[in-house]
Amino acid sequence: MNIYDFKARDIDGNEISLSDYKGKVMLIVNTASKCGFTPQYEDLQKLHEKYSDQGLAILGFPCDQFDDQEFGESGEIKSFCSLNYGVSFTMFEKIKVNGKDTDPIFAYLKDQVEFKGLDQTNLTNKIIESILNEKFPSYTSGNEIRWNFTKFLINRDGKVVDRFESSVNPLEIEPSIKELI
């Protein structure tokens, strides 16, 4: 099994096969519209504009598992992302990234790259860890997604090569993207 075996519905309800992205570098992100990390949409869009012609595909998967920080309907999500951040990269329907209803794409991604920890010198990560321990303790073990805007980088051959946690700004990933393009 590989990343190209999966399908998902885009934000407009169309079924998309990830095999459509064969030969591209992918950055797959679980997103949320009402999160402290939501401004990362701006930098994801910058990366999309700068590198999409060179083979980068950014795929956003809205999720509301972390304190209900996403709108309820796809139309609201699409409108918010477009109006506030000019998002033109592919957005998908809302999914779950943890628990018994984990989307198969994210189950696969979590199996491919281990969680390496949250940098505890970063105050935001300390806050996230505190919230997780209090409200979502099941998300603190193994390779579970810890919060919104966890990013997975996939090379042109479909291999998941890295995982970047929420506090890592998308522009910090640019050198890794450039190596793969």
Burial class (CB in 10 A: 0-12, 13-18, 19+), 141: exposed
Residue type, 60: G
CB neighbours of residue 135 within 10 Å: 10
**Beta strand ranges found along 79-180 (DSSP E):** 90-91, 151-154, 160-164
Answer yes or no: are the C-beta atoms of 136 and 66 closer than 8 Å. yes
Q: Which of 26, 29, 35, 145 is catalytic?
A: 35
The answer to whether residue 81 is catalytic is no
Give catalytic residue positions: 35
